[in-house]
Amino acid sequence: MAKVTFIEHNGKEHTVEVADGLTLMEGATKNMVPGIDADCGGACACATCMVFVPEEWLAKLPAKEDMEETMLDFCEHSEANSRLSCQIKVTKELDGIRVTMPESQH
Amino acid sequence: MAGQEKNGIVIIGAGQAGAQAVMSLRAEGYEGPIRLIGEEAEPPYQRPPLSKKFLAGEIGFDRVELKPAEFYEQSGCELILGTRVTRIEREAHLVHTGDGRAIGYDKLLIATGSRVREINVPGFDLPGVHYLRTVGDVREVQTHFHAGAKLVVVGGGYIGLEVAAVAKKNGMDVTVLETADRVMARVVDPIVSHFYQRIHAEEGVKIRTGETVAGFEGKGKVESVVTGEGEKFPCDFVVVGVGILPNVELAQEAGLHVENGIVVDECTQTSDPDICAAGDCTNHPNGVYGRRLRLESVQNAIEQGKTAAACLTGKAKPYSQVPWFWSDQYDLKLQIAGLSTGYTQAVTRGDPDHARSFAVFYLKDGVLVAVDAVNRAPEFMMARQLIAKHAKLDPARLRDETINMKEIEKA
Per residue in B335-380, pLDDT tens?
999 999 999 999 999 999 999 999 999 999 999 999 999 999 999 9
Taking the Cβ of residue B367 and every Cβ of chain A, the question of whether any pair is shorter than 8 Å is answered with: no
Taking the Cβ of residue B90 and every Cβ of chain A, the question of whether any pair is shorter than 8 Å is answered with: no
How many inter-chain contacts (A to B, CB under 8 Å) are there?
Answer: 57
- B134-181, pLDDT tens digit by residue? 999 999 999 999 999 999 999 999 999 999 999 999 999 999 999 999
| B333 closest CB neighbour out of A32, A39, A67 | A67
* DSSP single-letter state for residue B276: E
Compute the average pLDDT of residues B392-405: 97
**Is the model's pLDDT at B3 over the cut of 50?**
no
Confidence of residue B298 (pLDDT cuts 50, 70, 90): very high
| B377 closest CB neighbour out of A29, A37, A74 | A74
> Higher model confidence: residue A14 or residue B5?
A14
Beta strand B224-227 with B232-234 is: antiparallel
Query: Rounded to a whole number, what is the distance in Å from the CA of A77 to chain B's nearest CA?
Result: 12
Confidence of residue B4 (pLDDT cuts 50, 70, 90): very low
Rounded CA gap, B296 and B279, in Å? 8
Q: Do B46 and A45 touch (CB under 8 A)?
A: no
Residue of B nearest to A73 (CA): B378
Q: Which residues of B31-49 are buried (b: 16+ CB within 10 A; e: fewer)?
A: eebbbbbbbbeebbbbbbb
Rounded CA gap, B155 and B137, in Å? 17
Compute the average pLDDT of residues A32-59: 90
Closest to B206 measured CA to CA, from B180, B175, B230, B184 = B175
> E strands along B50-93, which residues?
77-80, 85-89
Confidence of residue B1 (pLDDT cuts 50, 70, 90): very low
Taking the Cβ of residue B383 and every Cβ of chain A, the question of whether any pair is shorter than 8 Å is answered with: no
Q: Do A29 and B67 touch (CB under 8 A)?
A: yes
CB B157 within 8 A of CB B184: yes
Q: Does domain B129-242 have CATH number 3.50.50.60?
A: yes
Residue of B nearest to A44 (CA): B333
Whole-number pLDDT of residue B277: 98
Rounded CA gap, B311 and B317, in Å? 7
Q: Does domain B331-407 have CATH number 3.30.390.30?
A: yes
Rounded CA gap, B89 and B72, in Å? 26
- Measured on CA atoms in the order B177, B178, B182, B187, is the torsion positive or negative? negative
Question: Is residue A105 assigned to a domain?
Answer: no
Q: Do B378 and A73 touch (CB under 8 A)?
A: yes
Question: Is residue A106 assigned to a domain?
Answer: no
- % of chain B beyond a pLDDT of 90: 95
**Is the model's pLDDT at A106 over the cut of 90?**
no
Which DSSP string do the residues of chain A spell out, in sequence order?
-EEEEEE-TTS-EEEEEE-TTSBHHHHHHTTT-TT---TTSSSSSS---EEE--HHHHTTSPPPPHHHHHHHHT-TT--TTEEEGGG-B--GGGTTEEEE--S---
The H or E element containing residue B298 is helix B298-312
Domain count, chain A: 1
| B49 closest CB neighbour out of A34, A41, A74 | A41
SS3 assignment, position B30: coil
Whole-number pLDDT of residue A43: 86
Please state which CATH number belongs to domain B9-115+245-312. Answer: 3.50.50.60
Compute the average pLDDT of residues B192-213: 98
Kindly report, as residue ranges, where domains of CATH 3.30.390.30 are found in chain B: 331-407
Q: State how far the alpha carbon of B61 is from the alpha carbons of A12, B68, B116, in Å.
A: 31, 11, 21
SS3 assignment, position B138: helix
Residue of A nearest to B332 (CA): A67
Residue A55: give its domain's CATH number.
3.10.20.30
The H or E element containing residue B17 is helix B16-27
> Higher model confidence: residue B396 or residue A44?
B396
For B5, residues 6+ apart whose C-beta sits below 8 A from its C-beta are none
Rounded CA gap, B354 and B352, in Å? 6
Interface ipTM > 0.85 = yes
Kindly report, as residue ranges, where domains of CATH 3.50.50.60 are found in chain B: 9-115+245-312, 129-242
Q: Do B67 and A73 touch (CB under 8 A)?
A: no
| Radius of gyration in angstroms for the set of CA atoms belonging to chain A, rounded to a whole number | 12
What's the distance, CA B251 to chain centroid? 20
Residue of B nearest to A23 (CA): B63
Query: Rounded to a whole number, what is the distance in Å from the CA of B203 to chain A's nearest CA?
Result: 22
Substitution target in B135, B304, B335 with the highest count of A β-carbons within 10 Å is B335
Question: Is residue A25 assigned to a domain?
Answer: yes
Instruction: Phi first, then psi: give them for residue B148, nearest 5 degrees.
Output: 95, -15
Confidence of residue B334 (pLDDT cuts 50, 70, 90): very high
> Which residues of chain B neighbour A29 with C-beta distances below 8 Å?
66-67
Domain that holds residue A12: 2-100
Taking the Cβ of residue B405 and every Cβ of chain A, the question of whether any pair is shorter than 8 Å is answered with: yes
Rounded CA gap, A43 and A41, in Å? 6
